[in-house]
Chain A
Amino acid sequence: MKSYYIIVLIALVSLMASCTDVIEVDVPEGPIRLTIEASLDWEKGTAGNEQTILLSSSTTFYDNQMPSPVTGALVTVTNNDTGTIFNFEDQNDGRYTTANFIPVLENSYTLNVTHNGERYTGTETLFPVSDISEVFQSKEDGEDDEALEVNVSFQDPEGIENYYYLRFQSRNDMLPELFDIKDEFIDGNEATFYYEKTEDESNNIREFEPGDIVDIKLLGVSEDYYNYMQLLIEQFDSAGDPFSATPVALVGNCINLDDSSNAPYGYFRVTQMVQDTFTFE
């Protein structure tokens, strides 16, 4: 629901605001912090044993030397229901990997990271996801009746609260298209979401063309993660626009046990995922 409002507002602004340009603005410099990207996504129908956790450090806003990997940390994940501990090995490039992970639906997991003498931790539950029922292309839907878009449909189960994170990545593009989805208004229905690109010469964006490939991931996520991603996506799409909310620092689910004022960025998520790849015809 909210994303449509935001689209409306962005459209209102873009209609009026013919005039945008890139300028140099001095921004304040905040503290440098550990960033945890612990995304344990279990693809439906696979074992899900191979998992990677990324650790990096934040930088100043205009720093283009991203990412700056963090090495030498101790990383483990514990299944709180079974007590099993999974050790993630340091690959010395910011990646920490395991080949032994065992995903169990509805089980709760805890992440522990020790770095520079400080201990970080976070807890998350693994939620199931619906299958993608259809992926297809069309022209007449979307904002522009002439432009190609890719559509993804899935059936929301009735009577239970579900939260989803949907990610489109066009292989020709740098940035993905992200959706946070809550079933509040679509409970029990088949829902369809589309990704369409509209021509923008100033940014060198072109419409989808036959042959373009888009990777699609649909994840079943927790309510807390949905809230996190909702804000992340909203700010990624429109922070600073006149009709957007005052941007704020995102708060993930990981804390610093030794220094609460130095909380890490990022999130520890454990999800079930379905994915597909679509090639425009």
Chain B
Amino acid sequence: MKQKTGRLRLPWLWTGLCLLLGGLTIQAQQNFTISGNVTDKINGETLFGTSIFLEGTTIGAITNEYGFYSLTAPSGEYILVFSHMGYKEISMPIQLNQNLKMDMEIEEFSTQLDEVEVTAEEPERAILRKPEMSVSKLNIKTVKQMPVVLGEVDIIKSLQILPGVTNNGEGSSGFHVRGGAVDQNLVLLDEAIIYNTSHMLGFFSVFNADAVKDLKLYKGGIPAKFGGRVSSVLDVRQKDGNSKNFALTGGIGVISSRLAAEGPIFNDRGSFLVAGRGSYAHLFLKMAGEQNSVSFYDLNLKTNYNLSDNDKLFLSGYFGRDVFEFGGSFSSSYGNASGNLRWNHIFNDRLFSNLSLIYSKYDYELSIDDFSFDWISSIKNYNAKYDFKYYFSDAFKLDFGVSTLKYEFDPGQIKPKGPDSAINELQLEQKSALESAAYVNAEHKLTDRLTAQYGVRFSHFNRMGGQKLSLYANDQPLVYNNTLQFYQRNDPIDEVSFKKGESIKTFSNLEPRASLAYQLNDYSSVKFGYSRAAQYIHLLSNTSSVTPLDVWTPSGKYIKPQLSDQYALGYFRNFMDKKYSLEAEVYYKTVDNRIDYIDGSDLIGNNTIETEILNGESRAYGLELLMRKNEGDLTGWISYTLSKSEQRTFGGNAGGPGINNGDWYNTPFDRTHDISVTGAYRFNDKWSFGANAIYQTGRPVTYPNGQYIYEGISIANYSQRNADRLPDYYRLDVSATYRPNKKPHKRWKGEWVFGIYNVFNRKNAASISFGQNVETGANEATRTAIFGIVPSVTYNFKF
């Protein structure tokens, strides 16, 4: 692998240098810069993705995550336009003969609680020209009007009705992007890594929609500023808090309720947001005498403070927890916690910077009373990042920065609850690692029609000492038993102890990223993208759906970093006066060093994971189509994905043919067809309606191909891994929103949301298990279907 990247290095840098110089020469004219921040007029939230341009030219800019923009043009008279979907467009004549600072507040079309319009995320002119591709951006308002199970707005579920994104069935955690695994998604909440995106095993997402401003999912073409995962990046940003007025928003639902408070503080130099959410279904269960219960809660915090016109501080935090109790016998709880301090500094009208200090943690606790012990595991990280954006010229913009991230892994400890416990204390080897990176990325307008984005990320991973490592005969943690024909664990022959300052193993990778957009005409463009990404930490999971108990592990002596290469080609078109838009993409992705687990692998409480795994590869390819209607009373989209995701695992050093005889087999997240249709219809000012229809090929599973009697029971024999499929999945959901007449001067605004999930009450199989009937002993197949028809009602309010 090293050699491969070595060969890439020189030509890459050379090209970069040439293009950089090209950028500099354009700069040498009589130019001036306009810069500033764009905010919402009503609540003062900074706006991401606002398009600012000089009318009649191709010169323009888009606000970044913090609402900042900068654009440079030759001196002259222009009409400056601020345009943001769902907001009133502002245009003003300007005389550009000096650098201008132009902060702008723009106003929404409607100040209703929820916008009824489904909006295309960015002005179409930007979509066509920007090389950015393979990106799904969802407006939180769009998310809020989709019908959802039990009335709980869910960002992750909304993403799944876009092309290329699926989950592993109802009641499964996380999501899959372009045939990738759950652990291959980098999920960021205000830049902090979120390790588990689900509450209640996937029934709800950890993101409280009232606290979220916007989200962006990169399915490919991941910008060089992101790294560490090979499949996707989900970038979720929390609201800053209303800087104009104190406001309360909330909702009361069947399962849970939420409340958010926001307002100005520090004499209007800042604002804050506090949002909380909790479930209470468990209280009813307890009242009904049910011993088992499940509940969750979470808390979002954010505050910011303007130090000066050019300096702004942000402090944000998240804390969420799930609690399960099973009678008196055991209980378990788990959750994410994160905190983040950021400092935005504008060096000058062209150089924007952000420094972040970030902490995040995921931990899992299990307490078993019968055997009186506690089981605890966790992953923690501390992250420092410094990101810059330099607006060289209208044609050339540069992102660059550095990041370093320290991981601490505690894969598990067992603590007896008292001297009477039959269980001995145990601590699995704690691990730590340092992942550092530097990147540079340019957005370069080569001609009026051709724009390129290219960059490179250099990543370095240091698996640090302070632990013991097992050694094996012939360096084989497992070996193929040729006689019995299966993979067998080897026992360690020795142990080596690494001191704290020592390094067990280091890896480094150059990750080039590039994309090109060529605008064919005013309404269509083609784009091409390539990206390479490295992933140094892995979620150990041999189950078909990941569970909250699964443990992360770093690369090291026995596990290599995953490396992905993805190629994508897309065609984008607006038609009927931009009423409709079409996005079509094909992709091909390979991942090297994707581990898989041997038959009968046992990952729980295991100090020697290397004895359970083989090193393999995976590949995924597909076609994604998205057709949207962007305007009018009826809006929505149709999305279709045709795809394949498979993996292959050879025996390698362990000998033998590998998993599934070394042949390709389906990953559990392979879906041949995935179609969804979603629509929103605004009937009048009071009533609006929404619907989703979803069809998916069933998930790959392994079915029995025979049985035999042993120990008085029927033992099923299983054939090829993931060779069979669950029945196809389909579902229709509908919702209706009622907004009572509101009095113009009343601050209280409320709405009722009525929803029906799975209208046809179809029993979609989440899984099928095979076993003997306890009475007759005959073999049978049992389907688990999680949600039948689920009606719900939620009341949302804003004050």
Contact = CB atoms under 8 A, between A and B. Distances in A.
B403 interface: no
11 contacts: A19-B763, A25-B781, A39-B711, A63-B707, A185-B424, A232-B711, A235-B716, A239-B769, A240-B768, A240-B782, A247-B716
B15 interface: no
Given A242-B784, A246-B722, A255-B484, A61 B599 contact: no
Nearest to A31: B706
Contacts of A235: 715-716
A81 interface: no
B683 interface: no
A267 interface: yes
B542 interface: yes
Interface stretch (B120-128, B301-309, B321-329): B321-329
Interface string A220-259: 0000000100111001101111111111111111010000
Contact of A248 (B599, B715, B724, B776): B599
B774 A174 contact: yes
A21 B763 contact: yes
Contact of A187 (B424, B597, B777): B424
A247 B768 CA distance: 12
Given A25-B768, A25-B781, A192 B422 contact: yes
A178 interface: yes
Interface string B377-391: 000000000000000
Interface in A48-90: 56-64, 66-67
Contacts of A46: none
Given A61-B779, A203-B775, A242 B717 contact: no
A173 interface: yes
Given A240-B701, A248-B702, A176 B712 contact: yes
A185 B785 CA distance: 36
A20 B782 contact: yes
Nearest to B332: A8
Interface residues of A, number: 92
Interface string A6-40: 01110111011101111111011111110101010
A175 B774 contact: yes
Interface in B565-620: 597, 599-602, 604-605
B292 interface: yes
B782 A204 contact: no
B485 A246 contact: no
B780 A22 contact: yes
B710 A30 contact: no
Contacts of A61: 704-707, 716, 770, 779
A24 B780 CA distance: 8
A246 B702 contact: yes
Contact of B713 (A15, A60, A236): A236
B775 A204 contact: yes
Interface stretch (B29-37, B531-539, B543-551): B543-551
Chain B CB within 10 A, most for which of A23, A60, A144, A240: A240
Given A25-B768, A243-B543, A142 B370 contact: yes
Given A27-B703, A62-B779, A245 B601 contact: yes
Given A30-B719, A56-B708, A175-B774, A189 B604 contact: no
A244 B713 contact: no
Contacts of B351: none
A141 interface: yes
Given A1-B605, A25-B703, 20 more contacts: A7-B330, A13-B171, A17-B171, A17-B785, A21-B785, A27-B724, A28-B724, A33-B708, A37-B711, A59-B707, A60-B706, A62-B778, A203-B773, A204-B775, A231-B599, A232-B715, A240-B768, A242-B545, A244-B544, A251-B486
B718 A20 contact: no
Given A174-B776, A251-B484, A263-B485, A28 B719 contact: yes
Interface string A163-197: 00001010001111010000001110111101000
Interface string B189-209: 000000000001101000000
B414 interface: yes
A60 B470 CA distance: 43
A249 B718 contact: yes
A249 B719 contact: yes
A239 B549 CA distance: 18
Interface of A: 1-2, 4-5, 7-9, 11-13, 15-17, 19-25, 27-33, 35, 37, 39, 56-64, 66-67, 141-145, 167, 169, 173-176, 178, 185-187, 189-192, 194, 203-205, 227, 230-232, 235-236, 238-253, 255, 260, 263, 265-267
B782 A21 contact: yes
B713 A176 contact: yes
Given A15-B292, A186-B422, A265-B708, A246 B486 contact: no
B434 interface: no
Nearest to A203: B774
Contacts of B94: none
B788 interface: yes
Interface in B717-761: 717-719, 721-724
Contacts of B326: 8, 11, 15, 143
Nearest to A187: B424
Given A67-B709, A185-B423, A247-B716, A204 B774 contact: yes
A15 B324 contact: yes
A251 B656 CA distance: 15
Contact of A8 (B549, B723, B777): B549
B370 A246 contact: no
B602 A230 contact: yes
A58 B707 contact: yes
B769 A253 contact: no
Contacts of A173: 774
B602 A2 contact: yes
Contacts of B248: none
B483 interface: yes
A21 B368 CA distance: 30
Nearest 7 pairs of A and B residues by beta carbon: A30-B705, A240-B769, A248-B599, A58-B708, A35-B708, A25-B781, A251-B486
A58 to B, nearest CB: 4
Contact of A17 (B715, B774, B786): B786
Interface in B238-294: 291-292, 294
A61 B766 CA distance: 22
B714 interface: yes
Nearest to B600: A231
A4 B373 CA distance: 11
B708 A241 contact: no
B466 to A, nearest CB: 24
A32 B706 CA distance: 8
B169 interface: yes
A190 B422 contact: yes
B766 A2 contact: no
A178 B710 CA distance: 13
Contact of A24 (B772, B781, B784): B781
Contacts of A59: 706-708
B422 A5 contact: no
